[in-house]
A and B are shown apart, each in its own frame.
Chain A
Amino acid sequence: MAVLDKMEAQLRPVETLMVPYPAKYITQASGEKLVVHQLTREDVPHLLKAIQPLTTVEKDFYDVVGCRVVSELVGWMRYRVKDEYCLVGTVNGEIVGMVNGRMLTDKIGMSYHTLAIRQGLRLGAQLFAAKMEYHMDFLKQDEVWVVAESPNGFKRWMIEYELEPRFEQWHELGGVPTYVLTRKLWEKHKAAKCGGRRPVPEELLAVAKQMTLPSIYGQIPGYKRGE
């Protein structure tokens, strides 16, 4: 590890040791396997290439979510966010979506974003469930603060999980109303929402870690990478 200059050392947040998220896989309705695994800072530049095309898509607020995710990931990569993490979903090695968040305290989780690149299989819902699983079952937190920036998100999280409204509490993403997944709600909805098996077979995990960039974006008709 490179030696940090004094100023940089002072700028970086003090990090908490976080239990890693163990990879899992979920069979999709298409028969394909969605593998969810945790990224490191070193993976961020590659993941950004998958997200950047969506940062100008107005439909379903992909622009808002995409731009903020890029910012959050760059902030994490460059040590300007404390205790952030990122989970990525891949199908046949291709990046199909991601989720991120951070620990606000040891008891409270701060959900950032859920971005589904491939649409139609409810991958976003499964990735969101994986994120909540990380906070609740692995980080052992009591609650997670969640906001929605798109109607789809609101339907999937606030309504389907019956999240508790707690508007007096400010979420880090700004003035969007805050809702909370409590442990009681998690226990109520976990069985129906959170699927998957562990461990991921080595071969499947190796393919997942290739993280090939999406060649098709349903949100961008006619998209061709590099153009």
Chain B
Amino acid sequence: MREVGIVGVGHPPFGKYEGSLMAMLCEAAVAALDDAGLKTGAGHGVDQVLVSSMGASQVNRQTGVASALVDTLNLRPAMAETVENGPASGASAVKLGYMAIVSGMCDVVLVVGGERMRVLSGWEATDFVATMLHPEAEYAYGLTLPSFAGMFTRLIMAKYGVTERDLAMVSVKNHQNAMFNPAAHIQLVPDLEAITEDEDALTINPYVAEPLHLYDTCPVSDGAAAVVLCALDVKERFAKRPVKIAGIGQATDTHVVAEREVPTDLFAVRRAAERAYAMAGLGPQDIDVAELHDAFTILEIVEAEEVGFFPRGEGHLAVRRGETRIGGRIPINTSGGLKAKGHPLGATGVSQIIELVRQLRGEADGRQVKDAQAGLAVNFGGFGNNVVATILTREEE
């Protein structure tokens, strides 16, 4: 089977973007093409463009985004599609790009993920994201992603003894990591005591969906991120040594969360990771760095268990021991994670993969994990009903 690598990455800062969705996507795309040593215009060498976005049509009133991007960047006559798979759109688009190359249909694919969400108020953004829930069984009753996360957290706390302080420790760690990532939306480190114990804690860190606080939830961010994929048999065309896509796994779970057999398990995360490990011929013990989908801090803890880093119910103990910090046994969310880097839905999966590329290239500066050889990203759609796991490895000279 043909092998595929990543030869270019582009990641402008997440946060608030003043321009249009298209301008934001173009910035990321051009940065990725530059990184790969490609140019727009005649002879660009891109066979396919995939754009991942969950809300372009609903939030920004724009459809046909991939076609527009191709024309704006003068990448015609490249093939173009827009990919929508909820918050897992980014990793799904990378997966589809991978498939396009493996099939032999393409040699080079540009994947651009982006979301412009700051045009919405917090309430509107929460409502927009909730449209991926079951329309009759969940959304119609006012359920939202934070409300699911709050209920899920309660169950996990009761079952395994996770505390609000454990969750805050995840948050503080990810904010600390984000301080070394110039692309991160939030550039401040919360003080653990101030946001948990202080008399003013509930004012500065109020409950969003009890027991989850403000500092347990990701911000609403604008952002775009892009990668250039290529067949490894044409890697000589590019300026940078590729990082190999060693494994991709995807799995789904029930749409209605209440229908799950064990409500505290994230079955699709486990199954997607197992598939990715099998494809890569690796196991959790081989992973040096991971980007897990921490839209809520509880998800980092439980996903770390589901992908096999820790036994079930012990993820929070590893957090207490500092095992998920940079320098720990398995550093998680070195980019700052969704918590601090931001979560522009369609960009997130691409952004996670970019962080792994930077780590495996040794370009992660102050957040570099020493001698990283393999990385795992988990991009989580719905409340875990569609999950994509991607494993990247460092290509030897």
Contacts and interface: CB of A to CB of B under 8 A. Distances in A.
A210 interface: no
Contact of B190 (A29, A59, A126, A195): A29
Contacts of B194: 27-31
A27 B193 CA distance: 10
Contact of B200 (A59, A120, A196): A196
Contacts of B204: 26-29, 121-122, 126, 195
Contacts of A31: 191, 193-194
Contacts of A151: 121
A57 to B, nearest CB: 12
B143 interface: no
B193 A192 contact: no
Interface in A118-150: 120-122, 126
Contacts of B41: none
A193 interface: yes
B186 interface: yes
Contacts of A11: none
B182 to A, nearest CB: 12
A120 B188 contact: yes
A194 interface: yes
Nearest to A192: B206
A17 interface: no
B123 interface: yes
Contacts of B205: 29
Contact of A197 (B18, B188, B199, B201): B199
A26 B194 CA distance: 10
A94 B189 CA distance: 19
A195 B205 CA distance: 11
Interface string B171-190: 00000000000000011111
Place the interface of chain A in its size category. 20 to 34
Interface string A183-227: 000000000111111000000000000000000000000000000
A155 interface: yes
B62 to A, nearest CB: 20
B195 interface: yes
A30 B123 contact: no
B202 interface: yes
A29 B203 contact: no
B18 A59 contact: yes
Contact of A120 (B186, B193, B199): B186
Interface in A59-104: 59
Contacts of A26: 200, 203-204
B198 interface: yes
B199 A29 contact: no
Contacts of A29: 188, 190-191, 194-195, 204-205, 215
A151 B193 CA distance: 32
A195 B193 contact: no
B202 A192 contact: yes
A193 B207 CA distance: 12
Contact of B203 (A59, A155, A159, A194): A194
Contacts of B187: 120
A221 to B, nearest CB: 11
Given A29-B190, A31-B194, A195-B203, 7 more contacts: A26-B204, A27-B198, A29-B215, A30-B194, A120-B187, A155-B122, A197-B200
13 contacts: A26-B204, A28-B194, A29-B195, A29-B205, A29-B215, A30-B188, A30-B191, A126-B203, A194-B203, A195-B199, A195-B202, A196-B203, A197-B199
Interface of A: 26-31, 59, 120-122, 126, 151, 154-155, 159, 192-197
